[in-house]
Structure 1
Amino acid sequence: MHETILFGLKGFDKIFRLRKPSGEIFIIFFDFPPNEKCSCNNAVKNGHIMKIKNGPFKQCILVGLIALTSTSQSFGQVITRVLSPEDEIENYIPWYNSDEEIPIINAPFVDVEAVLQADQQTGREMPRIGIKQEVNYTMEDGQLIERENYSLWSLTLRSVNAKSMSVRFDGSNLPEDAVMFLFNKESRFIVGPIKNSNFRNGTFRSDYLNGDRVNISLFIPGIEASEIVSVNLTSFDHGIISFRVFDDDFEDSEPCNVNVTCEQGVGWECQSESVCKIIHSSIGSCTGSLVNNDCCDLTPFVLTADHCIADFPVDDYLYRFNYQSPQCEPNGETSPSQWITYYGSDITAGWVGTDFGLVELFDRPTSGMSFAGWDRTNQTPPNSTFIHHPSGDVKKVTFDSGVSTPAGNFYDFNLTPGVNGDFGTLEGGSSGCPKYNPDQRIIGQQSGGVPQTILCTTTNSANEDGRFDISWEGNGTPDSRLRDWLGASTNPNTMDCMEHPFVEGPGTLCSGPETYALINNMPCTKSITWRVEPTNLFTSPVSGTGDIAVITGSLINSGSATLIYTLSAEGCNDTEVEYDLFVGRPCTFELHSFPTEICIGEQGETFLNLFEDCLGNYSSIEWDFYGAISGYGYDNKGRYTGITTGYGYVCVTVTNDCGSKEVCDRILVKDCGGGFGFRNSRSNPDVAELEANISPNPANDFVEVVYSGYVSGARITASLISADGKLVETIEEYSHSFKVDMAELPSGLYILQLNVEGMVLYEKIVKL
């Protein structure tokens, strides 16, 4: 089904954005003659590129292939990306304009040497990665650009000599559909999307971005939405280290450490997905792991070391999950890195006696993570495995082939990398990491004792881990033991690792029915019910029991929906697993075009906000420009130019598995007396002074085009366009003069678009 909100003639410039199920995106440019219709169905079948027949003036050019990770995210989690040199910021920030000048605020100077000297004098033990600085910047300090149906607010905060930066917002409020990104163009770090749901009581803290500045870009939909926005930047961390994600060894851990993506990590995937890097300027970095409890209720308990959390503001901590190398042995040109960061936690329990600490994240994790199992019996393991972030590095796996020695509340053990099967070592930053027995259950957490001068060639005999079995009863109170939090219901001796449950089924539901299945490996018995919201998007049934849900979409309504599974057990809190889907074809979305009034020869820009719910798991985007404008579209963006007086139309058709929706913006083109001129220059000095003379004009049979300033051998592409935006003819020449045949054309106004090595010139031609 296809709906047109504003009908008009189809133009000749089209672009399709084709998403394969694997997540790859093909961007294909097409030029079509005015009398030929092209549909995405001719280009895509079952998510794959199909052969497209060529005709007159038709071209099919594959211009790009990029990998894109799903932009969907749950409450609380925020994605940090590091782009490869081939990737572009605009692939992630729909409204990004590289030419836009963002106001820069220089923060007060940070005297790093003075702070480090003070740390030494006070005997600070935990390594520092940043220095917190209080500031007070608001919306008034940035740049607010208000347009017809949206606003953009931006600001750049710079701290001289910072190697990385993290920013904090307090007392802030974003509209429900507003989207924020933080980025650094030089280091190619991007944090986001950040929405109102990521703020906790108006507070949000970002992950660290490499570089001495953070660009803040906020998209605010709606005409008056900017009036209810409040952004207060209250502090930042001046980073004294950078996060090297494209180096061979990433950061500074010892070379004998082994990436979890190597063969030594095979079979430990569930355990690895539970491990996180803990970051704060007060502690540097530690390691922690999500741990399961006897209710399997997905409570986000993170086990770490007490010395990593005691007397520190854990509500300001950052927890990085999936911070690991995508390759076993990166060569310095690894694929773009991406990880998920959670902000803030509460201390649940801790005890210096075993140096254990247990915190609960403010926000619940989603699928793609896991909850580690544990063993509270006092059986000494014959060998041990550790998964950790040594020196804050990407995730590593270490193995000790020897028997650990119980020593009171701790295990003592030796590590000799390369001897008796041992590999890897433990360093600063490994504190709090899980110690696993051969059954892949946690029996302790790394406490310390490793000297800073340790090398891969050294026998490490000073290692000690706090014993999980002793921590179970701890110091006898709920805030000093694990039992009340991990075993309050049945007090089991062991728990196994558990992947976060997830739902399998189509992301787009047409009329249906379609089958959805809850994939659940919980080591706990649960009764399961399900329901869908909102119910008006579905026909009955809208609820049921069991892990299989068969649902049918409405034939009338469309929009975003959620399938919710509820898992229950006696004596335990209910647990919900949600799956977002889209019902029906795309609903009415916003097209953001600016300006909507232009002069002949002037340009405007248009884009789709890819985070808008109504786009409906789209598979393709098709652009059309007609009437008094000509233009082109690329992915979710487009540009248009006024070519004659009157109204022009920018139209975009978004298609998903259920159908299409077309939305158009009307553009008024006025004659302001300026005419056409050079635009889109590539700053080529050889063609900078290029001019064209058209004669005769008006014309009966032909016009002759003569260039002055033409460089011999330069390619000229001439497009003759009728007043209603249709492409009449395309000519390619390599000479300073050529003729355009007008004899068979009807009388009227025509536009000749001339492109010479990236320089574009428009000329009016009147046919008598």
Structure 2
Amino acid sequence: MYLYIPENKGTNTRLAISRIVHGYKDLYAGLFESGSKDGSGSCEKDVACYPEWETESNAVALVLLASGTEHCSGSLLNNTAQDFKAYFLTAFHCVDVNENNLISPAEENNAENWAFRFKYKKTSCSGSIVASFYTYNQDYIRAAWNTSDFALVELQDSPIKDVAFLGWDRTGSTPTKGTGIHHPSGDVMKISFDNDVLKETSKSSNSGSGYWRTIWDVGATEPGSSDSPLFDQNKRVVGQLWGGYSACGASDMRDWYGCLYRSWTGGGTNSTRLSNWLDPNNTGAQVLNTLYPYITGPTVVCTSNSTFTLHNRPSGTTVNWTKSTNLRPVSGQGTDNYTVKAYWYSAGQGWVRATIGGAYYEKHAWVGKPTTDDLDILNPYNFPANTLCEGEQNQLIGNYSYNTGWLQPTIQDYDWDYGGWSHFEVGATDNISFVTVPYPFTYKDIKLRAANQCGESDWITERFYPNQSCGYFFGFSPNPADDYVEISPDESKLAENAIDYYEVRIYNSLNVAVFQTGKTKESLLRINTKQFQNGVYFIHFIAGKKIDVKQLVVNH
């Protein structure tokens, strides 16, 4: 749980939790197993597979009841004042749960205790990881009209984070195609496409008026998709889902969406129409585009000035910048270009935040040099990992494993200190190191540090001891090699360790495999080295769980 407190509030802030909503029972069903109980159908398409719809998807939310049960879908709409008021378009029937075409006080109270989960989608196409999502609680019902099946609520939380406010079209012009973004069966966000001209009919009919009829070409809708937005060919909202017959495998793929242009004037009162909420200044606008500000800027901030830029801020609005405590403000407060720099002692995650009206937008960056907390020396070919094979060449790997899901410090180079032992590094950042270990030795302290564009981290030191189970499992000659190299296993050593098969892999200095065998029992392997360019290579002899690594020089 994160609690963001405005800087000017100090210690006057209080946190009250009236209820806790959890999502174990229903929310994740079907996310990782196709076709499992409560999951969406196999024909549904992840919105993450269509990056051109990412902005619009950032306005769509899964609606939860106060109990935590998934209920419907819906979307935030822009208004002509572009003041970031969180107006959320949903359906009348999601409020009117007893379906008597009236909203009772109890139904209104229940609806005003909904929760709204934004950005509940996968991070990649057909992946299994869910993106970081945000849930906001409680709302006010502003307007509703049964005839076009719309309801408009306003979220109580303000400001809300990194969301889009969708544009709309109230002209009544027939869309040449339609797109729906929704949460079928409470699943992660999906997208459906009707690639043909839509038709206005009455609901559950092929004639009449008041509802846009879709016949899906890609995807479908399901329970839980209700209230989700229908987009026209210009990515503007023209309606919200009432229902229909579509489903994965259905022969009838028709659905109906209440026409936004009908809801505009609705029942003729503020509480039954959209007009005075979405056009508060009575501009008469027929269409409005989607509003989605965003911030660009560096991924690493050092002690020199770094500027972050806010895009798509509506004219007439003001912006207030805030930042993490490891950043120092330089200039740009109240403008679209905000300049900061790192304190000299700073190292870690940082962020800048632009608040505009009822929304705020963030950009994260790494601040300062790399830290040592997540810096490590990996020893993949020895067990235990703090041991080295005497009298042999050993491979060690420098690793920076920051895993918060934010940004890493962008390591540019690793420095190794073996205290006089012969070694060399390979890889674009020198993260792979080969060290010749003398025989015998008692212990060795090996040092490593990492550097990014801001400078070098402190050194870390790890102590290594002799590995008592090491041994030469193979021999090879000639070295250097020109035409060929012959590799012969030490059969007595293999027998001693109850190993029947072995495998050979040869890597170049960039740690790319250039040759490998399958499992073999051959007593002698002759490998053509004419296929290799001049340079240093590493023969990996893999026998069971043991790996013996030796250096080969190819010189034609």
* TM-score normalised by L of structure 2: 0.58
Out of 351, 354, 364, the residue aligned to residue 144 of structure 2 is 351
1:520 to partner: Cα distance:
1.1
2:29 and 2:545 map into 1 onto residues whose CA distance is 37
Q: Paired residue for 1:308, among 49, 72, 94?
A: 94
Is the Cα contact below 8 Å between 1:297 and 1:574 reproduced in 2?
yes
Q: Distance in 2 between the 1:624 and 1:516 partners?
A: 35
**CA 1:239–1:491 in 2, change beyond 3 Å: closer, same or farther?**
farther
Distance 2:383 2:288 in 1: 68
Distance 1:609 1:308, change over 3 A: farther
Q: Distance in 1 between matches of 2:283 and 2:193?
A: 28
Specify the SS of the correspondent of 1:445. Answer: strand
Query: Who is 2:210 aligned against?
Result: 412
Partner of 1:541: 330
Equivalence map 1:400-439=2 (5 Å) = 400-403=197-200, 411-413=209-211, 415=213, 417=215, 428-436=223-231
- The residue that corresponds to 1:31 in the other structure is none
Contact 2:172–2:261 (Cα < 8 Å) also in 1: no
Q: CA-to-partner distance for each residue in 1:3-30, whole Å, 9 max, x for gaps?
A: xxxxxxxxxxxxxxxxxxxxxxxxxxxx
How many residues in Structure 1 have an aligned counterpart in Structure 2? Answer: 448
What is aligned with 1:208?
Answer: 28
Q: Which amino acid aligns with 1:370?
A: A
1:395 alignment partner in structure 2: 191
Alignment of 1:549-560 (within 5 A): 549-554=338-343, 557-560=346-349
Asked if 1:618 corresponds to 2:410, the answer is yes
Superposed CA deviations along residues 244-288 of structure 1, whole A, max 9, x for unmatched, are: 7xx6x347xxxxxx98978xx97x775455334557798766432
Aligned to 1:757: 543
Amino acid at match of 1:291: L
Give the 3 Å change call, closer, same or farther, for CA 644–283 of structure 1 in structure 2: same
- Note if 1:506 corresponds to 2:292: no
Task: Assess, with a 3 A threshold, how the Cα gap between structure 1 residues 323 and 303 changes in structure 2: closer, same or farther.
Answer: farther
Give the strand-richer structure, 1 or 2.
1
Does residue 445 of structure 1 match 2:243? no
Does the CA-based 8 Å contact 1:424-1:456 persist in structure 2? no
Please tell me the residue identity of whatever aligns with 1:563.
V
Deviation at residue 291 of structure 1 after TM alignment: 1.4
CA deviation profile, 1:643-680 (whole Å, cap 9, x unmatched): 988654464433322222144144475x9xx94379xx
Alignment equivalent of 2:361, drawn from 571, 577, 582? 577
Q: C-alpha separation between the residues in 2 aligned to 1:574 and 1:428?
A: 31
How far apart, in 2, do the equivalents of 1:574 and 1:658 lie?
35
Given residue 133 of structure 2, which amino acid in structure 1 is its aligned partner? T
Q: Which runs of structure 2 are paired with 1:222-621 in the superposition (5 Å)? A: 240-242=37-39, 249-250=43-44, 271=56, 273-276=58-61, 278=63, 286-308=72-94, 315=114, 318-321=117-120, 326=125, 339-349=131-141, 351=144, 353=146, 354-357=148-151, 358=153, 360=155, 367=162, 370-374=164-168, 379-383=171-175, 385-389=178-182, 391-392=184-185, 394-398=190-194, 400-403=197-200, 411-413=209-211, 415=213, 417=215, 428-436=223-231, 441-448=236-243, 450-451=244-245, 458=252, 460=254, 463=256, 465=258, 467=260, 470=263, 486=278, 490=281, 492-494=283-285, 496-520=288-312, 522=314, 524-528=315-319, 530=321, 532-534=323-325, 537-538=327-328, 541-554=330-343, 557-567=346-356, 573=357, 575-591=359-375, 602-603=384-385, 609-611=401-403, 617-620=409-412
* Residues 564, 401 of structure 1: alpha-carbon distance in 2 compared, 3 angstrom cutoff: closer
Which amino acid in the other structure matches residue 760 of structure 1?
A: K
- Contact preservation (8 Å) 2:214, 2:256: no
User: Which amino acid in structure 2 is aligned with residue 565 of structure 1?
Assistant: A
- Contact 1:289–1:303 under 8 Å retained in 2: yes
Q: In the TM superposition, what is the alpha-carbon distance from 1:304 to its structure 2 partner?
A: 1.7
1:324, 1:394 within 8 Å by CA — same for their partners in 2?
Answer: no
Does the CA contact (< 8 Å) of 2:354 and 2:360 recur in 1?
A: yes
Tell me how far 1:610 sits from its aligned partner.
Answer: 0.9
The letter of the residue matching 1:412 is: G
Cα shift at 1:307: 2.9
What is the rounded CA distance, in whole Å, between the counterparts of 1:283 and 1:459 in structure 2? Answer: 27
User: 2:218, 2:473 → 1: CA distance?
Assistant: 70
What is the Cα deviation at residue 611 of structure 1? 3.7
Structure 2: distance between partners of 1:716 and 1:430: 55
Residue identity matched to 1:433? S
The alpha-carbon distance between structure 1 residues 271 and 505, as it changes in their structure 2 partners (threshold 3 A), is closer
CA contact (8 A) 1:715 1:756 kept: yes
Q: Distance in 2 between matches of 1:623 and 1:297?
A: 52
Would the aligned equivalents of 2:212 and 2:239 in 1 still touch at CA under 8 Å?
no
**In structure 2, what is the Cα distance between the partners aligned to 1:483 and 1:562?**
38
Structure 2 equivalent of residue 655 of structure 1 = 451
User: Structure 1 558/548 Cα, relative in aligned 2: closer, same or farther at 3 Å?
Assistant: same
Query: How far apart, in 2, do the equivalents of 1:647 and 1:549 lie?
Result: 52
One-letter amino acid matched to 2:59: S
Counting only pairs closer than 5 Å after superposition, residues 32-43 of structure 1 correspond to structure 2 as none
Q: CA deviation at 1:558?
A: 4.8
Between the aligned partners of 2:138 and 2:161, the Cα distance in structure 1 is 19
Alpha-carbon contact 1:342-1:361 (below 8 Å) kept? no
For 2:333, what is the secondary structure of its paired residue? Answer: strand
The answer (yes or no) to whether the contact 2:240–2:260 under 8 Å persists in 1 is: yes
Change (3 A) 1:469 1:655: farther
In structure 2, C-alpha distance between the alignment counterparts of 1:518 and 1:430, rounded to whole Å:
33
Question: Offset at 1:292?
Answer: 1.7
Is the 8 Å Cα contact of residues 498 and 521 (structure 1) preserved in structure 2? no
CA contact (8 A) 1:513 1:550 kept: yes
- How far did residue 432 of structure 1 move? 0.8
Q: How big is the shift at 1:208?
A: 1.0
For residue 395 of structure 1, report the CA deviation from its aligned partner.
Answer: 0.4
**CA distance in structure 1 between the aligned counterparts of 2:361 and 2:183, rounded to whole angstroms:** 33
| Aligned partner letter, 2:370 | P
Map Cα deviations across residues 324-360 of structure 1 (whole Å, 9 max, x no partner): 995xxxxxxx677765533353232163635334363
Deviation sequence 1:185-234 (CA, Å, 0-9, x none): xxxxxxxxxxxx9x998765465165899xxxxxxxxxxxxxxxxxxxxx
Q: Map 1:62-77 to 2 at 5 A.
A: none
TM-score (norm 1): 0.44
Summarize the Cα distance change of 1:380–1:619 in structure 2 as closer, same or farther, 3 Å threshold: same
Q: Which one-letter code corresponds to 1:496 in the other structure?
A: L
The 3-state SS of whatever aligns with 1:395 is strand
Measured in 1, the distance between the counterparts of 2:454 and 2:470 equals 44
Deviations 1:677-707 (A, max 9, x none): 79xxxxxxxxxxx999xxxxxxxxxxx9772
CA spacing shift, 1:707–1:259, aligned 2, 3 Å: same
Provide the secondary structure at the position in 1 that maps to 2:139.
strand
SS at match of 1:526: coil
Aligned-residue offset at 1:547: 1.5
1:431 CA drift (Å): 1.9
